[in-house]
Amino acid sequence: MFEHLSYSGSLRKTIVWSGVVIYIVLAVLAIVFYKERVAFVDLSFHLFTILQEDTLTIQNYRFGAAITQLVPLLGGRLGLSLHTVTILYSLAFVGWYASVFAFCVWGARAVRWGTVVVLLSTLMVTHTFYWAQSELQQGLVFMVLFLAVYQRWLVVKWPGWGVPALSIGLFTLCFFHPTLFIPFSFCCLFFVLRNRDSYTSYLWLLGAMLALTYIKNKVFHTPYDIDNIKRTDKLFSLFPNYFNTYAFQRFLNWLVYDYYLLSLGLILVIAHYAWQKQWLRMALSGGAFLAYAVLVTGSYSEGQEPQFYMENLLLPLAVFVAVPLAFDVLPSLPARWAAGMVVIVLTLRLLSIGFAHVPYSNRVAWAQRLLHHTENLPNRKLLLPEQGVPMDTVMMTWATPYEFWLLSSLEEPQQARSICISSNPDEKMSFLNKPQSFLATWGLFDYSQLPARYFPFPTTDTTSYKRTTYAELMPSGGPVYRW
């Protein structure tokens, strides 16, 4: 009944066992590099807020993030140690993707969708493994889960609860990330071209998704999302020089040196469709890939954003390659060839993800060195401007108060440290004479507001904050790690 969603013989076994191994290895990496992942910008802030407020911290109406945030929330309510909660938070993302893979393979009997999940976790993911909080990446996996259930529903037509459940799922999908409708639209159009007998079902689904996305963006919008949407206005002024921007040239460089397997996958997809004379599918896959790359690089044409941020925005490119590979290319190859290719690709991608830890490990090492340097200072609550800070290593400074809290609390029980590196320290000057308080990027927290189990600030410390500079604090400058 579900042959169109699965494979036969050795290819199915290869996909299933490769997926199991992939997520075991990713889980090990998530444990080994838990500091690199959680003590890195957004996740450190999320963990701080979850443990401090004892509730979820949903930003910009991206409610899909609740799936992974439930893990540290429950860990805090159970009274687990900070070390355990941090590791579990790092594991939560791998666990979510592995759960969807398991459901696709064994629950929905949709091994082809399971293949897509594995490829979304590996084919392009490199730096976003360490910037783990990405709601877009989480949403792409939820999209696969939804489509796997939808395709099974088209065959089984569960009575009663099928349509309400799918409606709730589609509504939830809209609240992961504003751009998720783009890869979703691609998938719907792909199956319109592929499944002639049920194309109207996908057209209705596409219309429903676009309508819900429009309503969501009109009713539930934030200045952050509005500013990002306005970036697309640059596309008009750039026309027709989209391929000459620094951001696009940098993207091409990444395609050659970092995402070369994604590039080879796209070439294979286009070659397959050309050989089969399936011109519409070829145009859809290749056109979607190019158009989306132009959309993202044109919106950030200056190319000033770090690679982990741009990689996150570009992750839907993996959908435009993974879906055709899983549903059309792999089944057309001899089973042994397809199985061997899958094993080689996934092995290479695991190695790439593992080796990509270097800049994030260097970042943790830099923060730990700074913490150790302040151990003997009479005043260890500090406010620093960004000037002089090695930004090639630090990358972003807005979350440094939360990162230093987490790293110091993990390494020095009862010695949590408060160090804030700010792009505008003048606006925080009124907070400097506040002892018994934690200076965060957004606000000041009295120690009494912070659960002592997770915020072990020394209650006997009555010193105030000191404004200093990085050059005064680290006269030698310390090691500068570059990536």
Residue pLDDT, tens place only, 373-391: 888 777 779 999 999 999 9
Residue 415 lies in a domain: yes
pLDDT at 415: 77
Q: Averaged over 417-432, what is the pLDDT?
A: 90
Residue 301 lies in a domain: yes
Residue 346 lies in a domain: yes
Q: Is the pLDDT of residue 157 over 80?
A: no
Among 158-167, 194-203, 420-429, the range scoring the smallest mean pLDDT is 158-167
Residue 479 lies in a domain: no
Q: Averaged over 277-298, what is the pLDDT?
A: 97
Q: Name the residue type at position 444.
A: L
Say if residue 328 is in the same domain as residue 403.
no
pLDDT at 98: 98
Among 336, 356, 376, the domain-final residue is 356
Among 325, 356, 387, the domain-final residue is 356
Tokens 């890869």 found at: 183
pLDDT at 477: 59
Q: Is the pLDDT of residue 1 over 60?
A: no
pLDDT at 41: 94
Q: Averaged over 97-102, what is the pLDDT?
A: 98
Say if residue 188 is in the same domain as residue 325.
yes
Say if residue 324 is in the same domain as residue 408.
no
Q: Name the residue type at position 458.
A: P
Cα–Cα distance, 176 to 172 (Å, whole number): 7
Say if residue 416 is in the same domain as residue 317.
no
Say if residue 343 is in the same domain as residue 414.
no
Say if residue 444 is in the same domain as residue 410.
yes
Q: Is the pLDDT of residue 175 over 70?
A: yes
Q: Is the pLDDT of residue 479 over 60?
A: no
pLDDT at 375: 80
Provide the domain count of the chain.
2
Q: Averaged over 27-31, what is the pLDDT?
A: 98
Among 335, 356, 377, the domain-final residue is 356
What sections of 103-198 are H helices per DSSP? 111-122, 135-156, 162-173, 181-194
Say if residue 330 is in the same domain as residue 374.
no
pLDDT at 481: 44
Residue 270 lies in a domain: yes
- Tokens representing residue 208 in the block: 């429903």
pLDDT at 413: 64
Say if residue 469 is in the same domain as residue 426.
yes
Q: Averaged over 342-358, what is the pLDDT?
A: 96
Residue 478 lies in a domain: no
Q: Averaged over 15-42, what is the pLDDT?
A: 97
Work out the angle at residue 186's Cα, subtended by the Cα atoms of residues 183 and 191, and round it to the nearest 5 degrees: 130
More confident residue, 361 or 474: 361
Say if residue 135 is in the same domain as residue 273.
yes
Q: Is the pLDDT of residue 78 over 50?
A: yes
Q: Is 445 left (phi over 0), alpha (psi -120 to 50) or beta?
A: beta
Q: Averaged over 114-127, what is the pLDDT?
A: 97
Residue 62 lies in a domain: yes
Kindly report, residue by residue over 443-472, the tens digit of the pLDDT.
899 998 899 999 998 877 788 899 999 988
Q: Which domain holds residue 399?
A: 359-473
**Helix, coil or strand: residue 171:** helix
Say if residue 348 is in the same domain as residue 375.
no
- Tokens representing residue 261 in the block: 């397997």
Say if residue 232 is in the same domain as residue 363.
no
Work out the angle at residue 246's Cα, subtended by the Cα atoms of residues 245 and 251, and round it to the nearest 5 degrees: 100
Say if residue 392 is in the same domain as residue 469.
yes
Tokens 């927290």 found at: 445
Residue 418 lies in a domain: yes
Cα–Cα distance, 144 to 319 (Å, whole number): 10
For residue 105, what is the DSSP state? I
Highest mean pLDDT out of 161-170, 276-285, 384-393, 462-471: 276-285
